Structure 1
Amino acid sequence: MSKLLYVVVCAAWPAAGAGRLVALAQEAGWVVQVVATPSALGFIDVPALEERTGRPVRSRHRRPSEPKPPRADAVIVAPATFNTVNKFAQGISDTYALGVLAEAPGLGIPVVVVPAVNAALAGRAVFRDSVERLRAEGVRVLVGESEPDASGSGEEDGFPWGLALVALDGG
């Protein structure tokens, strides 16, 4: 039986490339559920992701009449914004995506976070504190690996989609 990976996508510059992560995860044998923050919906190709995964992109809490979604076996947040990293670290759950993240560490679900933040935001004490807080709870936060550069990650957009899966596997 395949394992279920939740891919949480935030509204940051690489979000349009989230299909790359979905494809890599599927190639590695994962069933993928995309969860988008409300702001990310304008950054991603929702119909293409739904076609690729065979599942609706989730961005809101379910209604009481809707079935409960299956629990993830793992979660990757990519790209993760400054806002999402800080809210996740503080336990703020004001969107469906943050609700998924708020519960995951407490349920023992592995989480990998790949921030897409500029140097000014990454240098803020609040962000550094949030990264350390998440790491203290066992969350893998790939800081530094997410900044685009010419030496790159091997990805055409410079975002390290593949590193998220490597980190999930403990690499």
Structure 2
Amino acid sequence: MTTRTLYLLCSAAPPVFDIAGVIEDAQRRSWDVCLGLTPTAADWLEDSLPGLEALTGRPVRSGYKRPGQPDAWPPADAVLVAPATMNTLNSWALGITGNWLVGFVAEAIGKGIPLTVMPCVNSAYAQHPQFLPSLETLREAGVRVLFGPGGFEPNAPGEKRPYPWAAALDAVDQHRP
């Protein structure tokens, strides 16, 4: 099996604390993983960043590079945005690119990079009138949205439940030739 490059892009939601194991699982699936984080997720994982960089062999990104700087990552063969918070999803769907992660995935739609997103919102957030239209906007743009049976199903506020990381990795595995 050929190694391909997966951009694993994470928002600040509790499943981000499991990211080292997710990276290892993706690597066992022959993905070369590049980890990107929203600024808040990077803050949450600040103490773990050196270990995550050692695990991936690449810098963890959470901000834009300076103009003219070379990119430290190879081009993506697939992108997984997970966990994706309400803020990340709505910003992406509305084209509000206030951070590097959302800016990258907004542009990736136009570049034709295979994109998969799995939300991480509780059932109260899922009732917000912008949530489902944002998911539909992303679907219409060609993004594979893993929401509902077989993907992420919202939990009650405060309820703890395992995040379906394996389903997300299974979905990006489908981008292999």
Answer yes or no: same fold by TM over 0.5: yes
TM-score by length of 1: 0.88
How far the C-alpha of 1:124 sits from its partner, in A, is 1.6
Alignment check: 8 A CA contact 1:18 1:78 kept: no
- Count of residues in Structure 1 that have an aligned counterpart in Structure 2: 165
Root-mean-square deviation (Å): 2.0
Segments of structure 1 that go 5 or more residues without pairing to the other structure are 150-156
Aligned match of 1:47: 50
Aligned counterparts, 1:15-34, within 5 A:
15-34=16-35
Aligned counterpart, 1:61:
64
Query: Secondary structure of the residue that 1:125 maps to in structure 2?
Result: coil
Q: State the TM-score, normalizing by the size of structure 2.
A: 0.85
Per-residue CA deviations over 1:111-157 (Å, capped at 9, x if unaligned) read 111111010111222010000110111111111333477xxxxxxx6
Q: Could you say which residue in structure 2 is the equivalent of 1:146?
A: 152
Partner of 1:160: 164
Match status 1:83 vs 2:87: yes
Equivalent residue for 1:137, pick from 134, 141, 145: 141
* C-alpha contact (below 8 Å) 1:147/1:159 kept by paired residues: no
Identity %: 45
Which aligned runs of 4 or more in structure 1 are off by greater than 2 angstroms?
42-45, 68-71, 144-149
**Residue deviations 1:2-26 (CA, integer Å, cap 9, x gap):** 2111000111111111122211111
Q: What 5-or-longer segments of structure 2 have no aligned partner?
A: 156-160
Partner of 1:152: none
